[in-house]
Structure 1
Amino acid sequence: MATTLHPIVYWAQTEDNISLKVDLRDTSDPDIDVTAEGLYFKAFGVGAGGLHEYEFQMDFYRNVNPDRSAYRVMDRAVEFNLTKDGPALFWPRLTRDDPKPAWLRIDFDKWKSEDDSDEEDEEAVMKKEQEEQMRQIEKELLETKEQAFADLKTVYLFFFNLLQFIGYAYVVVYLFCRYAFYGKENMKEAFDRAVIPLGICQMFAFLEILHPLIGLVKTGIMAPLMQVVGRNVLLFLVILPNPEVQSDPMVCYLFLVWSSVEVFRYPFYMAGVIDYSSEVLTWLRYTVWIPLYPLGFFSEATVLYLSAPYYEKTQQFSLALPNQYNISMYYPYVIYAYMSTILILAPSLISHMWRQRQRRFRPKKPRTFHVKLN
């Protein structure tokens, strides 16, 4: 459907008349109605927006005499000569509403004030007109900037969530198909094929901590901080440096659980970015976690428990005195402490997700109406 634009309209006045000039070239099919209270105009022509349909309507500050008014369609404009109704006097403005529309401007070539010799009045009117035009330009620039930022944010968030979904979906499909066809055979190869896309997605997941900090999304920071940091510590500081645990099927089970949660979370975010509401996506987002979160916490604790003997044997990441830092750290104790933290925090995280689900699917209370009896 074509959009109707406003043409630029110039106006001037004397004590007895109002002159209007609609800046529209090659006007065709004009629909014009002049009444005592106002003017309606609609036509095709070439204006500020190119060849288009232009339309406007205005209510006059005071009445005009339509019988003594006239207009003519010219090649470069449509001109109106409107006769004021009532005593001869100058109007403070053309339209009843104040401020005037942005497309209505003063025709200084024809403008006459109450004192034609007073050039200061004309300069004041011109200055006011220029100030209003500058304010309008600033407003349009600000609106354009805000809209451009909103569009850029939408595109960025949509493709961020889309790429994250693709990465995690690859891990889910690959591991599921491998288990279906090969079972637990050669789990090290399964780990090597799954860890690269999963690691890339987990690194980009750090951006989910940044998004609420800079205002891209209106969510809290604690939930993504705990999940992203917790997973990446386990992946990059426990699993990747430990070649022995990489062959254990529990690691691939953990990858499958992590990725399955995200496969349903990111499409829900993608739909939210483009203001698309889906009951199916919403239900999956707030329901699939119920079996997967407990499985994830159990798998994380199990992988930590299986990794501890390797770090006891190799003393990797452990610090023994004396050293340049003058501190000691036994890395297996760190792993056991981290495992205990996961088991302690798991109930509160599950409760938080359950409260979110209840708020999302809480039945709406029926509206009640109170009648006041006299």
Structure 2
Amino acid sequence: MKAYLSVYYLIQFCGHSWIFTNMTARLLFFGKDSFADTFYAIGLVMQVCQLLSALELLHIPMGVEQQSFLPKCSQVTERLIILFLVITSQEEVQSKCIVCLLFFLWNLWDVIRYPYLLLSAVGIEYPALTWLYYSLWIPVHPLSLLAEVYTVYASLPYFEALGTFSYTLPFAVSIHFPYILKAYLVLLPAGVLYTCSHLYHKRKLYLRQQELKLKVK
């Protein structure tokens, strides 16, 4: 199990590192012009990485990972919904600057999270990386929430105009997808706040352990 988990974390780290490096290089070379085709440049790898992250929802009940299921489920599902249902399905949304910012924030967190989990899986602790893991989420998660909300909000006119995922069922029952997205906009902050609360308690425990280590020394 340890070998499988290490390989999984390594693959995810390599994927997200490639995305992060590619986005940074494109921004440095092309500036704002890189925003328009960011999704076309890294979208496929991003989709693969996020689909692989769904495996983490199986790792926890199977005992492969020792993490809380609900915060993990909240984070994985919100990314899958926004990436596949909101961004991938609407070509007009893909070229917006907010998508580039959202991908940057997601990968900024993941290039810290996955190497930390990888080292933890093999029993290695790197203090600077550990501190980043327990601290970087504080600015990144709220900013990611704002970017996610804006991305969904910016996609609403296109879903209204094109009728994507809106259907009329038998017996005069209709599904209007923009209404579902508006309801999701209400639920999205609750999910992110729940995840942040979980990370906050983990950070408090980490800081308490660091204090005890200092007292022992």
Compute the TM-score of the two structures, normalised by the length of structure 2.
0.92
**Alignment pair present for 1:352 and 2:198:** yes
Q: Provide, for residues 250-288 of structure 1, a one-character-per-residue CA deviation record: whole Å limited to 9, x for no partner.
A: 101101110111100001111111111221121011111
Q: Partners in 1 of 2:69 and 2:197 — Cα distance? A: 17
**Alignment pair present for 1:329 and 2:175:** yes
Deviation of the 1:222 alpha carbon: 1.0
Rg larger in structure: 1
**Alignment pair present for 1:278 and 2:126:** yes
The structure-2 alpha-carbon separation of the partners of 1:318 and 1:172, relative to structure 1 and needing over 3 Å to count, comes to same
Q: Partners in 1 of 2:53 and 2:190 — Cα distance? A: 24
For 2:205, give the aligned amino acid.
Answer: R
Q: Provide, for residues 192-234 of structure 1, a one-character-per-residue CA deviation record: whole Å limited to 9, x for no partner.
A: 1111111100000011000111111222211221111110011
Q: Partners in 2 of 1:354 and 1:185 — Cα distance? A: 37
**Alignment pair present for 1:339 and 2:179:** no
Q: Provide, for residues 53-109 of structure 1, a one-character-per-residue CA deviation record: whole Å limited to 9, x for no partner.
A: xxxxxxxxxxxxxxxxxxxxxxxxxxxxxxxxxxxxxxxxxxxxxxxxxxxxxxxxx
Q: Which residue matches 1:301? A: 149
For 2:196, give the aligned amino acid.
Answer: I
Q: Partners in 2 of 1:325 and 1:155 — Cα distance? A: 53
**Alignment pair present for 1:197 and 2:45:** yes
Unaligned runs of 5+ in 2: none
- Divergent runs of 4+, >4 A: none
> Mapping of 1:1-374 within 5 angstroms?
153-320=1-168, 323-324=169-170, 327-362=173-208, 363-364=211-212
Give 1 or 2: higher strand fraction. Answer: 1
For 1:314, give the aligned amino acid.
Answer: L
The structure-2 alpha-carbon separation of the partners of 1:335 and 1:268, relative to structure 1 and needing over 3 Å to count, comes to same
Deviation of the 1:325 alpha carbon: 6.8
How many residue pairs are counted as aligned between the two chains?
213
Aligned sequence identity (%): 31
Q: Which of 1 and 2 has higher RCO (CA within 8 Å, sep 6+)?
A: 2
Unaligned runs of 5+ in 1: 1-152, 368-374
8 Å Cα contact 2:19/2:107 also seen in 1: yes
Q: Partners in 2 of 1:316 and 1:179 — Cα distance? A: 31
Q: Partners in 1 of 2:39 and 2:192 — Cα distance? A: 26
Q: Partners in 2 of 1:199 and 1:293 — Cα distance? A: 20
Give 1 or 2: higher helix fraction. Answer: 2
For 2:68, give the aligned amino acid.
Answer: G
